[in-house]
Amino acid sequence: MKDEPRRVDVALGERSYPIIIGRGLLDDGELLREHIPAHEVMVVSNDTVAPLYLDRLASAFGTRRFASACLPDGEGEKRLESMLPVFDTMLVNGFSRDCRIIALGGGVIGDLAGFVAATYQRGVDFVQVPTTLLAMVDSSVGGKTGVNHPRGKNMIGAFHQPRAVIADLAVLDTLPVRELRAGMAEVIKYALLGDHGFLEWLEAHIDAAMARDPEAMAFIIERCCRNKAAIVTADERESGQRALLNLGHTFGHAIEGARGYGDWLHGEAIAAGMCMAARMSTRLGWISPAQRDRAIDLIRRAGLPVRAPDDIGAARFREFMARDKKNRHGELRLVLLRDLGDATVTADYDPDALDATLESAGH
């Protein structure tokens, strides 16, 4: 018997959209056609994901005008130049403003295809079909789209909400384990920043999740999407609460930057970054050592790093952290834990606690 898909709604007035979560959705032509009603369909994917899953989409849209663009795999492709062949394909096919773009891939494809949708003929509709755990729980929801510039990540982009997110859990079966772990770092982030009940659930089910148990994965993705949807609804353009989603990211971005992007995966860096935030929160007396250790243990059980590389040093950390987009008037704002399941964005902390955390590289 086929399970009914789960559904989470992102409530944003006329920009509202559903997130549909279930196993085998890519084989459900009826569901795909319902959520992708356009007569011109343009799929953007990459050369790892397309050979696995593009045919399923193509067969669902057999009678409509259908085109696809397939980029080489990798974060390095998330740049303006890679958008041009996508625009070319759409123009050559005479696609109008009524077309619909489908992003079939992880966060790289979702961000780029979303930005293509934001800009093709001043904006067309798009649908996210996320294929990594990270994309299902994070990047496909919320409408941040864009590409990198040689001088900085995500420096060019737009807010453009998708019309639907369709997460087929079956595609996670082919995801490399290292990518699964990296996505799990963002999952744990939601628990630590604002969902204590989910934290307890994860402590009990993390082993099942890492074994890709279908029930556990379905529960996780739905719960994370509910959390993200609530935060995005409250603060669509990140003027306040949405910054909580940066738990572990200020330290993590510094690790990525100091290591050179691509050495540590983003999820691995923010895993270590969340451990640093937990340790600093304990130094401030905000969470107990036992609470800190609970957070760190969960991260460790997901197979993720729990400390920064030893060789970065406080000065390099500060250099990268000074560039953080959350900073105001030269103040370093951090996401820290007032409690497990209760994060806050603040520049109001004892600087000695930060010094000690950076100097010990998170030990």
Counting DSSP H helices and E strands in the chain, the numbers are 13, 11
- The reply to whether 200 belongs to the active site is no
107: contact with ligand NAD by CB under 6 A: yes
56: contact with ligand NAD by CB under 6 A: no
% helix, strand, coil for the chain, step of 5: 50, 20, 30
**Minimum CB distance to ligand NAD smaller for 224 or for 361:** 224
Catalytic residue among 40, 186, 236, 268: 186
- The reply to whether 122 belongs to the active site is yes
The answer to whether 259 and 72 have CB atoms below 8 angstroms apart is no
Who contacts 226 (Cβ-Cβ below 8 Å, separation ≥6)?
A: 8
Nearest-approach distance from CB 44 to ligand NAD, in angstroms: 12
Return d(Cα 80, Cα 71) in angstroms, integer: 12
Judging by beta carbons within 10 Å of its beta carbon (0-12, 13-18, 19+), is residue 328 exposed, middle or buried?
exposed
Residue type, position 187, single letter: V
Q: Determine which residue in the list 66, 100, 101, 132 makes contact with ligand NAD, applying CB under 6 A.
A: 132
250: contact with ligand NAD by CB under 6 A: no
- The reply to whether 363 belongs to the active site is no
71: contact with ligand NAD by CB under 6 A: no
Return d(Cα 133, Cα 362) in angstroms, integer: 26
Nearest-approach distance from CB 250 to ligand NAD, in angstroms: 15
| Coil/strand/helix, residue 245 | helix
134: contact with ligand NAD by CB under 6 A: yes
Indicate the pairing of strand 125-130 with strand 164-168: parallel
Q: Determine which residue in the list 29, 58, 73, 170 makes contact with ligand NAD, applying CB under 6 A.
A: 73
Binding residues: 73-78, 107-111, 131-132, 144, 153, 186, 249, 266
The residues that touch ligand NAD, with contacts defined as CB under 6 A, are 46, 48-49, 52, 73, 75, 78, 105-109, 111, 131-132, 134-135, 138-139, 142, 144, 154, 171, 174-175, 179, 182
**Residues that are catalytic:** 122, 144, 186, 228, 238, 242, 246, 249, 253, 266
